[in-house]
């Protein structure tokens, strides 16, 4: 007879502009994943307004928690732990989810688990692909992070490279804002780039003197801005689709170059992608083609787990639960938390 008890975790994610709650069973079995997005609210400002974000989180956190429990068919009393994103993110936003998690942990007398948002993005892969084998190379490309990691197993990892300035997603957002395309930048640039010629403008790629796996995108951002200014000064036509396609191609060239370099260096069984930029189909397709020649499979989370959600926090939180990596009730949000 199998007496192993199922572990139910309620996970909360409020690091930026999505209020999300999920219930997971034994980590990777997602019983519910509710996301209330604030994109419409922030769109008109061209970016997330922190004060507005935290107010909206306050308004939505309780209904979203109730909805996630109801959809999962799990009662609060059945929960084994409550997990919440503790960083990185906007401090006011993080506080809302973390305070709710602390309250529930105290009232229900279950452990509190503080989860790193970036780890959550990585674990989203294991939700979508429980068969995934380690060691694995992981590229995390979001609005705040661009990290290249080596996971020996699910519990230990090494940082191989990271961005020295802007994150890849941040570059998409800044260029989209500069070209007045809207927010968030990634999806609008991806869409517009389909109509453009990626070879139209040869933007420079960051080059480092040392043999590093680090990234840099701020030079590219400046190059795009300078290019547009020059075109305007010369009274020449600005083809936004060509710029979007050329910019996007340059970002992907730089990302792919380092993934291949790392794959040549480390012995891995697979490569995984995490973060919002991993939703870009062009990027996935190009990287997949490059890796096929190395016989390395590429995994990425299903679309719904690529952007911010609480299921990924529940999945990462489960492995912390197994390690008894619990937080005290005085856990504070860490806006600049790194891996
Ligand atoms: O992981 P995420 O949802 O939030 C965090 O930053 O943690 O990532 C959001 C970032 C934004 O910068 C957005 O512009 C970018 O991911 N993004 C994309 C795409 N969808 C979202 N970038 C390129 N192509 C996309 N399709
Ligand atoms: Zn995120």
Nearest CA to ligand 1 atom 10: 143
The yes-or-no verdict on residue 315 having pLDDT over 70 is yes
- Domain 8-122+306-322 sits in CATH at 3.30.420.40
Domain limits, CATH 3.30.420.40, in the chain: 8-122+306-322, 134-268
Asked if 157 contacts 164 with a C-beta cutoff of 8 angstroms, the reply is: no
Cα 89 to Cα 143: distance, rounded to the nearest angstrom: 10
Percentage above 90 pLDDT, the chain: 80
The yes-or-no verdict on residue 246 having pLDDT over 80 is yes
Cα 339 to Cα 337: distance, rounded to the nearest angstrom: 7
Residue of higher predicted confidence among 240 and 305: 240
Nearest CA to ligand 1 atom 14: 186
Lookup: tokens for 4? 């192993």
Q: What is the pLDDT of residues 71-115, one digit of tens each?
A: 999 999 999 999 999 999 999 999 999 999 999 999 999 999 999
> How many whole angstroms from 140 Cα to the centroid of ligand 2?
10
Average pLDDT of the chain, as a whole number: 93
Q: What is the mean pLDDT of residues 146-152?
A: 93
| CB within 8 Å of 317: residues ≥ 6 apart | 9, 11, 24, 81, 83, 113, 115
The yes-or-no verdict on residue 199 having pLDDT over 70 is yes
Asked if 219 contacts 247 with a C-beta cutoff of 8 angstroms, the reply is: no
Q: Is 2 exposed, middle or buried (0-12, 13-18, 19+ CB in 10 A)?
A: exposed
Cα 339 to Cα 253: distance, rounded to the nearest angstrom: 24
- pLDDT band of residue 40 (cuts 50, 70, 90) is confident
CA of 213: how far to CAs of 146, 175, 311, in Å?
11, 24, 30
Confidence (pTM): 0.83
| pLDDT score at 56 | 93
| pLDDT score at 145 | 87
> How many whole angstroms from 26 Cα to the centroid of ligand 2?
22
Yes or no: domain 134-268 corresponds to CATH 3.30.420.40: yes
Mutation to probe ligand 1, out of 172, 276, 284, 313 (largest number of atoms < 8 A from CB): 276
| pLDDT score at 55 | 93
Q: Is 229 exposed, middle or buried (0-12, 13-18, 19+ CB in 10 A)?
A: exposed
| pLDDT score at 2 | 54
Lookup: tokens for 227? 């290019």
> How many whole angstroms from 270 Cα to the centroid of ligand 1?
23
Question: E strands within 184-339?
Answer: 270-274, 298-299
Which ligand is closest to the CA of 280, given by its number? 1
- pLDDT band of residue 306 (cuts 50, 70, 90) is confident
| pLDDT score at 183 | 83
Q: Which of 75, 97, 119, 102 has its CA nearest to residue 20?
A: 97
Q: To which H or E segment does residue 127 belong?
A: helix 117-128
Q: In a 3-state reduction of DSSP, which class is residue 95?
A: helix
Nearest CA to ligand 1 atom 2: 276
Q: What is the mean pLDDT of residues 227-246?
A: 96
Which protein residues have a CB closer than 5 Å to ligand 2 (ion)?
142, 308
- pLDDT band of residue 3 (cuts 50, 70, 90) is low
- pLDDT band of residue 156 (cuts 50, 70, 90) is confident
Q: In a 3-state reduction of DSSP, which class is residue 136?
A: strand
List residues near ligand 1 (CB under 6 A): 16, 121, 142-144, 169-170, 172-173, 184-187, 190, 275-277, 279-280, 307-308
Which ligand is closest to the CA of 184, given by its number? 1
Lookup: tokens for 119? 């780890």
Percentage above 70 pLDDT, the chain: 99
> Sign of the CA dihedral 126, 8, 119, 301?
positive
Cα 156 to Cα 339: distance, rounded to the nearest angstrom: 11
Q: In terms of DSSP bridges, do strands 81-87 and 8-13 run parallel, antiparallel, or are they unpaired?
A: parallel
Lookup: tokens for 125? 């892969």
| CB within 8 Å of 13: residues ≥ 6 apart | 19, 20, 21, 22, 84, 85, 97, 117, 120, 308, 309, 310, 312, 313
- Cα-only R_g, the chain: 21
Atom of ligand 1 nearest to the CA of 167: 12
């Amino acid at each position: 007879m199998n007496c192993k008890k199922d572990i139910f975790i309620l996970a909360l994610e409020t690091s930026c502009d999505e209020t999300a709650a999920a219930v997971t069973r034994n980590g990777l079995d997602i019983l519910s994943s509710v996301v209330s997005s604030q994109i419409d609210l922030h769109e008109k400002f061209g970016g997330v307004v922190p004060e507005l974000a935290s107010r909206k989180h306050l308004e939505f956190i309780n209904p979203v928690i109730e909805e996630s429990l109801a959809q999962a068919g799990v009662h609060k009393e059945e929960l084994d732990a409550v997990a919440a994103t503790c960083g990185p993110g906007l401090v006011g936003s993080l506080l809302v989810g973390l305070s709710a998690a602390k309250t529930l942990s105290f009232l229900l007398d279950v452990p509190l688990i503080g989860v790193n948002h970036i780890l959550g993005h990585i674990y989203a892969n294991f939700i979508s692909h429980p068969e995934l084998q380690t060691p694995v190379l992981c590229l995390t490309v979001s609005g705040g992070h661009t990290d290249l990691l080596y996971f020996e197993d699910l519990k230990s990892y090494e940082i191989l490279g990271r961005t020295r300035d802007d994150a890849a997603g941040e570059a998409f957002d800044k260029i989209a804002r500069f070209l007045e395309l809207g927010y968030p930048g990634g999806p609008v640039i991806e869409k517009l780039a389909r109509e453009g010629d990626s070879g139209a403008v040869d933007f420079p790629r960051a080059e480092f003197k040392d043999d590093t796996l680090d990234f840099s995108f701020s030079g590219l951002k400046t190059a795009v801005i300078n290019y547009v200014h020059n075109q305007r000064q010369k009274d020449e036509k600005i083809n936004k689709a060509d710029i979007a396609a050329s910019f996007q191609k340059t970002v992907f060239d730089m990302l792919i170059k380092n993934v291949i370099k790392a794959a040549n260096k480390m012995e891995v069984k697979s490569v995984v992608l995490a973060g919002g930029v991993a939703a870009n189909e062009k990027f996935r397709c190009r990287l997949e083609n490059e890796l096929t020649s190395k016989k390395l499979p590429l995994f990425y989370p299903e679309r719904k787990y690529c952007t911010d959600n609480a299921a990924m926090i529940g999945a990462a939180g489960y492995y912390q639960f197994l390690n008894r990596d619990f937080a005290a009730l005085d856990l504070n949000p860490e806006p600049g938390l790194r891996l």
